[in-house]
Chain A
């Protein structure tokens, strides 16, 4: 299904759509408020952007430096070219520890690799420990937002789910009560897991350390109680120096949720005695994206989610309408790089309003890349976008209106459009909108009559 079809379905629940829109707008507003208390905010964005630009130019060097230092610290570094290899590596480590059940904190990368179903198929129970992720895991759904995984659900739905899965009181929708039920349920999982998986927010080449940020403390509960910590990261998450963390830690949480920092920002440099840390560096298409000049800087993304919260399309159509691991504006410029055909409607699921680019803490020119992907998609896959243009033309320029128009100008415009566009039978414009009244004379005619 295309984005527009999924979006129309989402919108049918008007009340929920409005709630979704307003809730995420509220997060965006919190972000605005806090960023405006930092006079040097724009300078921070620029600095962060420059650091990331520099890293992308020297990614191989920094990865090697990171690996060298991480090894020295006693972290075991693994490399994976693709999702399959990544999942294999994870499974091998788990199996070598004779472990049947693992805990995992939020990691979009493991979603990208579809790690959970792979491990489950191989007899490993995976427990997502972030509350939102646990909720969607119970429902067998992927996260609908990269920072707020269960933002598409109302507490009534979560209450029903917990009643079924965790035997909470029927009808008790109190968020505190439901959270405590999850706390008790997950405590037991934390205490029994021998292996814990986390994502990575930043990895520092200079020190060989990596940083994981959470508010719930679930990543730390998992890894400090387990014997083995497996950290999974995309190769683009490297930054050069420890001091660069100062820049990124100032912008990440402020952009994400409007808080000054996550309550836990953990720096892993070497394993505690008797324990192991494994770190997997994943490519999975990133090196290919790096070669696409117009799209490479999408790899600067620090996954704050701000472009989703600000995007009116995302807010009003929900994360699932994108059918992509990373939804929203950033997903729409990342996903076509991995599967152009499958994601060919995503770059068109935008008005190119540019709010995403202005909100992005690392200054990715997201809306410009959406425009560029459109150019690529019409070249690679001529059918679908023509269909879009057809609708455009049929909407705005469609007959009978088009026939009523006289004047050389409009004729020229129409001449510039392929016939297949002009004579498409659909008229999407007029379903819920009136067309402008066609005036007696065009501006050109008026001008000729009044000025020449």
Chain B
């Protein structure tokens, strides 16, 4: 017998099974204002939320060498090309991508392969911008998973803030290994 059958066999014999049913639940959220809830959550996670015009002004004031935008909602003329190998993104300063929807209770934004192109993108970039529509907000993670129940992307990610750590004496440091900042920018539609 191989390990697989041995383990399954062990699990199937001699267990004090009570046969408890799988629960169904109906946890309805009381969240009212999704936009302000989402904004508060992102800020608590140490990200920022911008209106489009604010973002454009900010971007003008920056001097990034490498910017990669694959957003369908925001046009950045000087974007570099998407490489075939993510290692070539090692020097990327800013990535601009679209988020599918956001979750008001915790700021989690759902991204999958079609938003990312290269899975490493939102991590390897120095700074990250996610373009998101105010209309694409849900209240809780229950709603979020309902929404992606039938999606079957090979990779999907709830991203809720910049890379952070508190491993040195519990003091919070933003910018551990991944993006040092997250800006969520509201777009129309």
Contact = CB atoms under 8 A, between A and B. Distances in A.
- A and B in direct contact, judged by CB atoms within 8 A: yes
A302 B157 CA distance: 20
Q: Which secondary structure characterizes the binding site on chain A?
A: helix
A339 interface: no
A221 interface: yes
A149 B10 CA distance: 33
Given A43-B27, A215-B163, A264 B178 contact: yes
A408 B115 CA distance: 79
Interface stretch (A267-275, A363-371, A409-417, A422-430): A267-275
Interface stretch (A77-85, A109-117, A326-334, A373-381): A77-85
Contacts of A220: 119-120, 123, 157, 178
Interface in A287-332: 287-288, 290-291, 293, 296
Interface residues on A, range: 35 or more
B168 interface: yes
A265 interface: yes
Contact of A130 (B87, B106, B167): B167
B108 A261 contact: yes
B159 A264 contact: yes
B44 interface: yes
B76 interface: no
Contact of B145 (A217, A245, A257, A296): A245
A245 B119 CA distance: 21
A159 to B, nearest CB: 9
A129 to B, nearest CB: 7
Interface in A206-232: 207, 215-218, 220-221, 224-225
A281 interface: yes
A425 to B, nearest CB: 43
A221 B22 contact: no
Interface string A41-75: 00110010011011001011001100000000100
A175 interface: yes
B163 A216 contact: yes
B113 to A, nearest CB: 8
A217 B152 contact: no
A227 to B, nearest CB: 11
A242 interface: yes
A246 B11 contact: no
Interface string B17-38: 1111111010100100000000
Given A47-B23, A260-B44, A132 B167 contact: yes
A265 B108 contact: yes
Given A247-B25, A290-B15, A291-B16, A215 B165 contact: yes
A131 B12 contact: no
B177 A296 contact: no
Interface string B142-163: 1011101100111111111111
A268 B177 contact: no
A183 interface: yes
A81 B168 contact: no
Contact of A287 (B7, B123, B146, B156): B7
Contact of B18 (A26, A53, A153): A53
Given A39-B30, A60-B11, A290-B15, A246 B142 contact: yes
B119 A260 contact: no
B57 interface: no
Contacts, number: 235
Nearest to B167: A132
A59 B165 CA distance: 34
A176 interface: yes
A63 B11 contact: yes
The CB with the most chain B CB atoms within 10 A, among A64, A132, A150, A221, is that of A221
A154 interface: yes
Contacts of B25: 43, 47, 247
A263 interface: yes
Contact of A266 (B4, B155, B161): B155
A259 B163 contact: no
B92 interface: no
Contact of B156 (A44, A64, A85, A269): A269
B16 to A, nearest CB: 4
B177 A261 contact: no
Contact of B19 (A57, A247, A250, A264): A57
Contacts of A47: 23, 25, 27
Shortest Cβ-Cβ A-B pairs, 9 listed: A217-B178, A260-B106, A132-B167, A224-B120, A216-B176, A270-B154, A287-B10, A60-B11, A263-B161
5 contacts: A129-B177, A179-B165, A225-B124, A269-B156, A270-B155
Interface of A: 23, 26-27, 39-40, 43-44, 47, 50-51, 53-54, 57, 59-60, 63-64, 73, 79-81, 85, 129-132, 135, 148-151, 153-155, 158, 175-176, 178-180, 182-183, 186-187, 190-191, 207, 215-218, 220-221, 224-225, 235, 240, 242-243, 245-247, 249-250, 257, 259-272, 281, 283, 287-288, 290-291, 293, 296
Given A132-B165, A267-B155, 16 more contacts: A26-B170, A53-B18, A53-B20, A57-B18, A57-B19, A60-B12, A175-B169, A179-B173, A220-B178, A224-B120, A243-B149, A260-B41, A260-B44, A264-B157, A270-B155, A272-B119
